[in-house]
Amino acid sequence: MSRFSAITDNPHENRFNNRVGVLVTNLGSPDAATAKALRVYLREFLSDPRIVEIPRFIWMLILHGIILRVRPSKSAKAYQSIWTEQGSPLIDITKKQCQKLREYLAKHNHDDVEVVMAMRYGNPSIEAGLEALREQGITKIVVLPLYPQYSSATTGSTYDAISRVLTKWRWVPELHFVSGYHGNAKYIEALSNSVQEYLDNNPTPEKILFSYHGTPKKFLTDGDPYHCFCHATTNAVVSKLGLDTDKVMTTFQSRFGRAEWLKPYTDFTLKELAQSGTKHVAILSPAFSADCLETLEELEEENREYFIEAGGEQYDYIPALNDRDDHIVAFYDILKSHL
């Protein structure tokens, strides 16, 4: 027998297959609503150079010398206000989204597609998700980051994390990366449906705010298209529903630090509206595919207080699309060309 026979027998042929794996990713969450768990989570999150673009040496001194000593306890209290028996709402909702996506794929002749959940920060990690697909012999992977509007701080960072893992693999899989879907017709339809359902069942608000997660203004001036994609999303929903443009606003939330961020700021806008006589507003956050700290605590609780304390009377939060059936249809529409 030739000494090369073991190699030419192609031992990999039976190990790998032509199945497709879908890696559904989102931002992530701490493992628990405790200061200890938040310290671990925030260290990973705030160490990402895509998140904070301050020179590394200076930022590491600030992060480890000040922020990680103070912020975990404060953040833990915020997480405790939204924590459920299932744990993190973001993780729980993403699990439900993945399960519904599996079922929908199976109904449309894609029962061999494997769907795995992973988080950019925290658990289950992106590395664990990729390894789960590799263990099943999958060599074609579609990555679906659940950020409708591309941003370097979210989608770009996810790509970085995927790339770092794959640099350690001998056999790099065929990779399809969804970099955003703010213009996808089914996504806009699902978003519009959620707004229309609210309007059909509630008194008409004087203003509807589309509140997106903010980013430093420097990101925009350096070429990040996120700001433009947010406005495009708002405009698409306004057009589809025929909303009065004078009653709709695009704002930005969740800023931190002293640098200028995308404006107008959601909290400032709510205070100004109430002070100028607006009594009833509705608000939604199309940047979030699942309800999380920034929607359940920041929008539903904190910003409601700002509006009411400034003189407003009715403040309605329109939930994220979460695991709505039309949201799952949008996921399928985004993925189908890669399957």
Interval 27-51 mean pLDDT: 98
Average pLDDT over residues 150-156: 98
Strand pairing report for 174-177 and 114-122: unpaired
How far apart (Å, rounded) are the C-alpha atoms in residues 150 and 215?
12
Convert the pLDDT of each residue in 236-266 to its tens digit.
Answer: 999 999 999 999 999 999 998 889 999 999 9
Q: Decide if pLDDT at 29 tops 90.
A: yes
Percent of the chain with pLDDT over 70: 95
Q: What is the pLDDT of residues 167-179, one digit of tens each?
A: 999 999 999 999 9
Residue 137 pLDDT > 80, yes or no?
yes
End-to-end CA distance of the chain: 42
Return the amino acid letter for 188: I
pLDDT at residue 11 is higher than 90: no
Query: What are the structure tokens assigned to 137, written together?
Result: 């012999």
Instruction: Give yes or no for a contact between 20 and 142, defined as CB atoms under 8 angstroms apart.
Output: yes
- pTM value surpassing 0.85: yes
| Confidence at residue 14, expressed as pLDDT on a 0 to 100 scale | 55
pLDDT in tens, 67-110: 999 999 999 999 999 999 999 999 999 999 999 999 999 999 99
What's 204's DSSP letter? P
Q: What was the pLDDT predicted at 17?
A: 74
Using pLDDT thresholds of 50, 70 and 90, give the confidence band for residue 16: low
280 CB-near residues (< 8 Å, 6+ apart): 203, 205, 206, 207, 312, 313, 314, 315, 316
For the cut 60, the answer to whether the pLDDT of residue 227 exceeds it is yes
Per-residue model confidence as pLDDT tens digits over 312-339 = 999 999 999 999 999 999 999 999 999 9
Residue extent(s) of CATH 3.40.50.1400 domains in the chain: 17-181, 185-317
pLDDT of 190 over the 60 cut: yes
Which among 66, 47, 64, 67 has a CA at the least distance from the CA of 56? 47
Q: pLDDT higher for 335 or 9?
A: 335
Percent of the chain with pLDDT over 90: 94
Average pLDDT, the chain: 95
**Spelled out in words, what is the top-level CATH class assigned to the domain 185-317?**
alpha beta
Q: In a 10 Å sphere around its CB, with 0-12 CB exposed, 13-18 middle and 19+ buried, how is residue 264 labelled?
A: middle
Query: What are the angstrom distances between the C-alpha of 10 and each of 2, 7, 35?
Result: 14, 6, 51
**Residue entry with tokens 């000494």:** 3
Cα–Cα distance measured from residue 58 to residue 108, given in angstroms and rounded to the nearest whole number: 52
Res 304 pLDDT > 70: yes
**Is position 13 annotated in a ligand binding site?**
no
Find out whether 294 is annotated in a ligand binding site. Answer: yes
Which whole number is the average pLDDT over 28-40?
98
Would the pLDDT of 3 be above 90?
A: no
Domain 17-181 has CATH 3.10.20.30: no
Residues 146 and 117 sit within 8 Å (Cβ to Cβ) = no
- What is the pLDDT at residue 12? 57
pLDDT attached to residue 256: 86
- Give the pLDDT confidence score for residue 13 in this predicted structure: 58
Indicate if the pLDDT at residue 4 is higher than 50: no
